[in-house]
Structure 1
Amino acid sequence: MHANRSLRLLFLTIFLDLMGYGLIIPLLPNYTRSLGASAAMVGVVTAAYSLTQFVFGPVLSSLSDRYGRRPVLLLTIALNVVAYLLFGWAQSLLLLIGSRLLAGLASANLSVAQAYIADSTPLEGRTKALGMIGAALGLGFIFGPPVGGAVKFYLGIEWVGYVAAGLAALNLALALIQLPESLPATRTGRPIRFFDASVLAAVGRSSQLSRLFTVYFLFTLAFAILTVTGALLWRDRFALNDAQIGYTFAGIGVITAVIQGGLLGKLVARFGERSLMLTGLFLMALSLATMPFIPALAFMPGEVALIILFAIGYGLVLPASTALVSRAFSLAEQGQILGQYQSVAALARIIGPVAGAALYGWNVGATYLIGGGIMLVSLLLAQGIGQSASVINPSTSA
């Protein structure tokens, strides 16, 4: 019962964190342009967030292995308060970039949250519990964008930052009062590094883990291509306005939240993580490769059906693959390995938007065929992944 209460509070913590993210992200490009930025600078501001996620994910995770999950989560939530206040105060590109760099550093705590869940749940319930992160992400994208738009319309862009800071402050207060430590008293004494060669070497020695890391990178890369070009495609080909595009992304969030928050446990019990991961990758490859070829007058039901398939696939792949990785390392190493795992995704989110935008300007159809091809390669690689792996301890393995 104590563990269940802690996980419910962690879900609320993640939701409030991602709600603040969802408030800002849809407004960020136009806000950046209003400060005099070029299109290239808009890309720099967008990539700044993922850059610090990539760099600091392993650092935060290894800190949590040594000092505990709770202090790292509290520190990063507090940093989010500062980052959102900076966003509200930003009247220059330099301050705006600084706020996004700090927000990315703070949000590199996702792997710490995943490690907290791995600490608190048995193997058979881990995938369902990890699905709560995806559900919180979906809910953050359901509620965040419309709230952010309304706040901007009535109060101004600076208040979007202040509201996000208020949510982060509420998050911090709840975590201070109610979130207990999840890691046992025995902690790893491994050094704090940006990249831990022993972890990467352990991954390289395991065919299963190498495949999982590669699949995660390719899967996230293809997903990032959609996130940067989806709004362009749906406007250019199907004449959707900004509100309709927002509802489309919210729909993806709803489907993801339903699958990861409600159905995942039953699906894992029946089919296992490996089967769910393969099914999800297939659905994403198929839908991504065909999205730009639906007739212009057939957004409903043609394009919507593909978007639904894509969202279902995403809702299956992320928690299933993360659970498979978490099983391969001892409890004391959970934070470090999941930090490296999230850094792989952050690297893909740096490359994906830049590559996707460039490809879209060259050829729309080719953009999505390439994205679908990348997803297909990840599916083929995933065929060699088993349902479980032997437990690895990088600090003692040769």
Structure 2
Amino acid sequence: MYKQNFPENLKYSYIYIIVFLDLVGISLIIPVLGTHLRSIGASHFQVALLSSTYSALQFLSGTFIGALSDKYGRKNILLLTLSICALAYFVLGIIKSFVLIAVVRLIQGCVKHTQLLCKILINDIVPPEQQTAAYGCMNGFAALSFIIGPIVGGHLMEKNEGFYILACCTAIVFLLNVLVIWLTVPNTLVILNPKTLNKNIKNSSPFNDLLEVDWKECWPAFSLKMLGAASMFAYYNSVSLAIKEKFSLSPSEAGYTGAIQGFTGGITGFSAGSIEHLFMFKNPFSKCYYSFFLLGTGFCTLALSPTVTIFTLALIPITISSTLLRGYNNEILYEISSVDHRGLIAGAGASVTAISRFISPLLCGLTMDIFGSSSGFILSAIFAFAGAFLSKMLSKKSKND
């Protein structure tokens, strides 16, 4: 159990504010980071390598950051990691060396786990029957941030010293988030089971906790999380090029498709609690099955769409299903996690996502070189239908249990 000391009227709305500010800051600068790196002489390979290395460090550090939050509290780790990121973004705006920028980005890759820690906070404080709605609201605010951030960032980037201005703005947003966390996030303390208290005192290192988790129980949630992330990252890696090559859209026209996704994701996230009641079953694996199937169907439609109108409409079921999947997968993940190791298991789940983020772009790039730009959507559909198949098998197994 967790001790909580925060005003009842605040509830957990502050988590959504933290998520929103975090992703607004990210979406301000990340979409133009590659362009900035190219402007200072970095090659395409160097830009891609830095992105992949960042993902690899997210994989390595996710479990450790989650475990640290179990030991020292979510609030303390959030304050520490976001403060480091705020300083790092300010430094990014000053330095012009690719090597130094790479060092700063790799430091960020080790500590930037705000979304992970916010998901753990939801599981800490929200009653189980309300968690789907809470995750939906979190995803809704996340989607809205990606409508605002890229638009503002694009305009700022066009000014003189645009990247420096963007880096400073991002740092300010992160510092504002630090203030929000300081004022609103409760100091949650894990109360360990008395039977394991003495053992945890003797073995207080997060690394020792790795041996105490029954990882065999985690593989269904981790597998579904990896397949869902793989399908979406393959999509993200191919959509811009596919739109340009298939429909010859300008960057501003292509931006409207992103706005539609953000708007749809926002509506879906805020409506997740209501959508939950439409299901005639409570098994989260069954809900994942239908969501994965809808996701795969949407990707197939993208690959085969003859007009930009059909292409844009296909983004709606993709956004709806991917938003719901994140909530359902978190529901499965936290059902199997004990209070003592909740952050550790959530961190491991984030590391699984980082694996997909590292591998999917490479597979997608190879597929698109061989079969064309639309084949990236087919790869996404394969991952999604694999997730649907696995969800169906796990649903039958859980019913038998």
Q: Same fold (TM over 0.5)?
A: yes
User: TM-score with structure 1 length normalisation?
Assistant: 0.89
User: TM-score with structure 2 length normalisation?
Assistant: 0.89
Backbone CA RMSD of aligned residues: 2.2
Listed one character per residue, the Cα deviations across residues 251-290 of structure 1 (whole Å, up to 9, x for unaligned) are: 2122112111x21112223424444322221111111123
1:263 paired with 2:266, answer no
Match of 1:73 among 72, 78, 83: 78
Distance 1:194 1:43 in 2: 35
Distance 2:151 2:101 in 1: 22
Match of 2:248 among 239, 244, 255: 239
Distance 2:225 2:17 in 1: 26
Counterpart in 2 of 1:151? 156
Counterpart in 1 of 2:226? 217
Report the residue type matching 1:309 in the other structure: P
Q: How does 1:72-221 map to 2 (within 5 A)?
A: 72-155=77-160, 156-186=162-192, 189=200, 190-193=204-207, 196-199=210-213, 202-204=214-216, 206=217, 209-221=218-230
Native 8 Å contact 2:286 2:392 kept in 1? no
Distance 1:386 1:358 in 2: 34
Unaligned runs of 5+ in 1: 390-398
Match of 2:35 among 30, 34, 37: 30
Match of 1:383 among 382, 389, 392: 392
Q: CA deviation at 1:182?
A: 3.1
Distance 2:287 2:156 in 1: 39
Native 8 Å contact 1:274 1:385 kept in 2? yes
* Structure 2 CA distance for partners of 1:32 and 1:354, relative to 1, 3 Å: farther
Native 8 Å contact 2:221 2:329 kept in 1? yes
Distance 1:123 1:87 in 2: 41
Counterpart in 1 of 2:361? 353
Match of 2:53 among 48, 56, 63: 48
Native 8 Å contact 1:327 1:388 kept in 2? no
Native 8 Å contact 1:119 1:183 kept in 2? no
Match of 1:289 among 280, 300, 318: 300
Q: CA deviation at 1:34?
A: 1.0
Unaligned runs of 5+ in 2: 1-5
Distance 2:210 2:368 in 1: 36
Distance 2:8 2:99 in 1: 43
Distance 1:373 1:172 in 2: 40
Counterpart in 2 of 1:332? 340
**Which consecutive aligned stretches of 4+ in structure 1 deviate over 6 angstroms post-superposition?**
none
Native 8 Å contact 2:137 2:272 kept in 1? no
Q: CA deviation at 1:385?
A: 3.0
* Structure 2 CA distance for partners of 1:384 and 1:181, relative to 1, 3 Å: farther
Q: Percent sequence identity over matched residues?
A: 24
Listed one character per residue, the Cα deviations across residues 143-195 of structure 1 (whole Å, up to 9, x for unaligned) are: 11011111111241111110000000111112112221234444983522399
Distance 1:191 1:247 in 2: 48
* Structure 2 CA distance for partners of 1:340 and 1:388, relative to 1, 3 Å: farther
Counterpart in 2 of 1:393? none
Native 8 Å contact 1:58 1:194 kept in 2? no
Native 8 Å contact 1:53 1:346 kept in 2? yes
Distance 2:141 2:116 in 1: 14
**How many residues are treated as equivalent by the alignment?**
380
Distance 2:334 2:237 in 1: 29
Counterpart in 2 of 1:395? none
Secondary structure at the residue paired with 2:393? coil
